[in-house]
Amino acid sequence: MLLQTAGTLVAPASALSGTVAEWMWLLPVLPLLGFVINGLLSLNSAHFGPRDPNTPAHHPHSEGAAEAPALSHAEEAGAVGDDHHVVKRHRWAGLSSIVGPGVLILSFVLAAMIWWAMVNAHPETPFVQRYFSWMPVGDLQINAAFQLDQLSMVMILVITGVGALIHVFSVGYMREDPGYPRFFAYLNLFVFFMLVLVMGSSYPVLFVGWEGVGLCSYLLIGFWFNDKANADAGKKAFIVNRIGDFGFLVAMFLLFANIGVLDFVGVSARAADLGAGSAVVTAICLFMFLGCAGKSAQIPLYIWLPDAMAGPTPVSALIHAATMVTAGVYLIARSAVLFSMSPVASLTVAVVGALTAIFAATIGLKQWDIKKVLAYSTISQLGYMFVGVGVGAYVSGMFHLVTHAFFKALLFLGSGSVIHAMHAAYHHTHSQEDAQDMRNMGGLKRYLPVTCVLMWIATLAISGIPPFAGFFSKDEILGSVFARAQGSTLASASWLGIPGNILLYIIYGVGLAAAFLTAIYMTRMMLYTFHGPVRTGDEEEKHLHEAPWVMTGPLVVLGILTIAGGWLNLPEVITDMLPLGPSEVLTRWLDPVVGTATARVVAGAPHVPASTEQMLVGGAVVIAVLGIVLAFVRLKPDRLPRKRDAVPEHGFEGVVANKYYVDEGIDKAVVIPTYAVSRNFLWRLIDNGLIDGFFVNGSAALARGFGWVGSRLQTGNVGIYAWVLVVGVLAMLGAFTLR
């Protein structure tokens, strides 16, 4: 193979040379292969024969009909009347179901083997494989190269592992969709780009993956593009992300202009040249954070993520919860060496993260669409991760990223299972009710027992109840914030005139409050979905059923991971009390990558005493339990009206239910002025007036004018031609003679 031979050219001496890690290029290539195969299969028409003239006309979709895997497509396939038990699948669906998840499973197996090689080799430096020179321009030497270190290994395992589970789930969820191979093609392409993102050895290569996952996100949000709302949601995600990407690009330019390198190894080596705390490093970090805010849905660029729920639920689970949106957290952890040099930028990250966490949590309290609750919950949890990486606790941020991938994927897939059941029930009775609205659910635990139990596990995990994964990671972030407030470079810095330590205590308080709200809104979601009376409808109730094993299987695996994920990084304060195994596994694992940066932020401050730490942990758990109890006491699923009987909320509740009118505000402040400027100035004046009127028509008129003058000279009279000739000859002779 070309790739292999090229790789051996430069392979530096590394502990991983000669091991299975040499094959790491295969990790992204496998999903790419899946993309090619599924993409080719999807070129085959999805129509199954002539349309039946008796097919009922398309119903106007209700608000939530974005999530309509079976209904609209079964109709497209020509299913009529009572005929909906006949499954109409894409003719290549069988092959797609093997190739799509298959490549991911292979990738995961390979990733696990590479991980094992890494465990044995203990590489202290990143293992870089250079494949070819991508942009050799003067001083700018960018290679298409992959880098393997502990940080990217964690991401690779999460992406391929959780990705494989979600692919398997999709086999059941998308079963009757006419775009089945296209769906898997996009999913595989997404995984390819995501792996490029985490394996890229330089910022530009990372950026390729960064943009690629954005593209796949756009394609998958608008997967059911027949509905304009879905296509618009895709565009919104794409456009909002462009703002962030602008920041990322500027950060790269600044980095290159100041230290002349863009690969991670080079940046770590030369970062000191920027000067700790200098304006340049702060600017680089802030611009980079703008990129992260776009990709990871932080204030003010979070607005695209709730709309992104228009995509199929597995997409929400994989892209908009578990992997892509965490790319910002990864980027900051990857750039830890830069962020640790700029306390101001780090504090900004933490402040924005904390604000996002609490802001999104409050919106989550009043959402009725089950996926919207989870979307705001994701934004809130991402805020948590940014608090972690912002305060220089890069390991904690990554730890929360991993556990969040487990439990949020579980929650999303669980909601997918619920929606699947609801949808099938409404489809049976041709009801136009909203299959995603919790007011139409209730009492589903009788019909979806497995989903219910697993989603409860995930709910407890996200709320921070021990011993589930979320408890450990969330707690570690809060503990780190507290510890940094006690003593660190951040505590001694100041942010907009606020002393760092006070700011960190505030962030800690906000984090606790967000945890409290998280417990409330998650319990609310579970209560309204699974408990109380069934509000689905008497006729529909008979058709509710648990999802097939191909969907519940991945849920069970994710459930186990959600329970066990905390073992990745048990805090010492726990292992001292209970014999649970080794502590701080992830911290030690990531130490070669982020250890120095963390140490720079900590700046030798002493550990928080174990008693204080125990108190903090206890307090956090009490707050989470209080939230859950409060939700149980205050919420009455028995009295909840169905969606069609519901009255809109008033006052502050109404404001929250309408997401603080942020979208409307942005419409008024940005979108409408942009339209106005585009229409009146750019279009009418610049385009029609200046470009069309002056340049295009003007140059034509100029040419015509010259032509007119030229044609006047051609009189057709030979005598005049002769005169011109003679005068010309005389002029030339004169010129030569007089010279």
Partner 1 sequence: MLAESLALTAALFIIGVVGVLVHRNAIIIFMCVELMLTAVNLTFVAFSRYYGAAGQVFVVFVMTVSAAEAAVGLAIIIAIFRHRQTVNLKDINLLRG
Chain residues that interact with partner 1, rule: CB under 8 A? 710-719, 722-723, 726
- For partner 1, give the closer residue by CB, 645 or 708: 708
| Closer Cβ to partner 1, 646 or 724, answer by number | 724
Rounding to the nearest 10 degrees, give the CA dihedral for residues 190, 193, 195, 201. -170
Residue closer to partner 1 by CB (options 690, 722) is 722
Q: Give dist(CA 639, CA 23) in Å, integer.
A: 59
Smallest distance, Å, CB 236 to partner 1? 59
Query: At its nearest, how many Å lie between partner 1 and the CB of residue 718?
Result: 5
Phi/psi at 443 (5° precision): 65, 20
3 state DSSP class of 104: helix
Plot region of 532 (φ>0 → left; ψ -120 to 50 → alpha; else → beta):
left
How many residues belong to the chain?
739
Q: How far is the CB of 674 from partner 1 (least distance, A)?
A: 51
Using alpha carbons only, what angle is made at residue 423 by residues 418 and 429, rounded to the nearest 5 degrees? 135
How far, CA to CA in Å, does 310 sit from each of 90, 184, 216, 422, 458?
22, 17, 14, 17, 23
**Residue-wise DSSP of 515-583:** HHHHHHHHHHHHHHHHSSS--S-HHHHTT--PPPHHHHHHHHHHHHHHHHGGGGG--HHHHTTS--S-S
* Distance from C-alpha of 69 to C-alpha of 419, rounded to nearest angstrom: 10
Choose between 116 and 723: whose C-beta lies nearer to partner 1.
723
Contact by Cβ (8 Å): 482, 616: yes
138/710 with CB nearer partner 1: 710
474-504 residues labelled b (16+ CB within 10 A) or e (exposed): bbbbbbbbbbbbbbbbbbebbbeeeebbebb
For the CB of residue 134, give the shortest distance to partner 1 in the complex, in Å.
Answer: 57
Minimum CB separation of residue 712 from partner 1 in Å reads 7
Give yes or no for a contact between 517 and 627, defined as CB atoms under 8 angstroms apart: yes
- To the nearest whole angstrom, how small is the minimum distance from the Cβ of residue 704 to partner 1? 13
Q: How far is the CB of 710 from partner 1 (least distance, A)?
A: 7
Minimal distance, residue 724 CB to partner 1, in Å: 11
Closest separation between CB of residue 703 and partner 1, Å? 15
User: Which H or E run contains 499?
Assistant: strand 498-499
Residue 257 or residue 727: which is nearer to partner 1 going by CB?
Answer: 727
Task: Decide: 491 and 484 in contact? Cβ < 8 Å.
Answer: yes
> How far is Cα 725 from Cα 533, in angstroms, rounded to an integer?
105
Nearer to partner 1, 580 or 725 (CB): 725
- Return the number of the residue (622 or 722) whose C-beta is nearest partner 1: 722
Q: DSSP for 432-466, please give it.
A: ---TTBGGG---GGGT-HHHHHHHHHHHHHHHT-T
**Whose Cβ is closer to partner 1: residue 13's or residue 713's?**
713
Alpha-carbon distance of 555 to 568, in angstroms, equals 20
CB 170 within 8 A of CB 318: no
**Residue 674 vs 715, nearer CB to partner 1:** 715
Compute the chain's Rg from CA coordinates. 30
CB of 732 to partner 1, least distance (A): 15
Q: Which is nearer to partner 1, 45 or 717 (CB)?
A: 717
Query: Where on the phi/psi map is residue 346: left (φ > 0), alpha (ψ -120 to 50), or beta?
Result: alpha
- Alpha carbon 458 to its chain's center: 20
DSSP H stretches of helix in 174-308: 180-199, 203-221, 228-259, 264-270, 279-295, 304-307
CB of 702 to partner 1, least distance (A): 18
In the complex with partner 1, which residue's Cβ is closer, 696 or 730?
730
Distance of closest approach, residue 714 Cβ to partner 1, in angstroms: 3
Looking at the Cβ atoms of 611 and 714, the one nearer to partner 1 is: 714
**Distance in angstroms (rounded) separating the CA atoms of residues 605 and 486:** 8
Q: Shortest Cβ distance from residue 699 to partner 1 (Å)?
A: 22
Least distance to partner 1, CB of residue 739, Å? 21
DSSP state of 303: T
Nearer to partner 1, 45 or 737 (CB): 737
By beta-carbon proximity to partner 1, the closer residue of 45 and 714 is 714
Taking the complex as a whole, the smallest distance from the CB of residue 700 to partner 1 amounts, in Å, to 19
HSE-up (13 A, CA, CB side) for residue 500: 26
Q: In this structure, is the dihedral angle defined by the CA atoms of residues 690, 693, 699 and 705, taken in order, positive or negative? A: negative
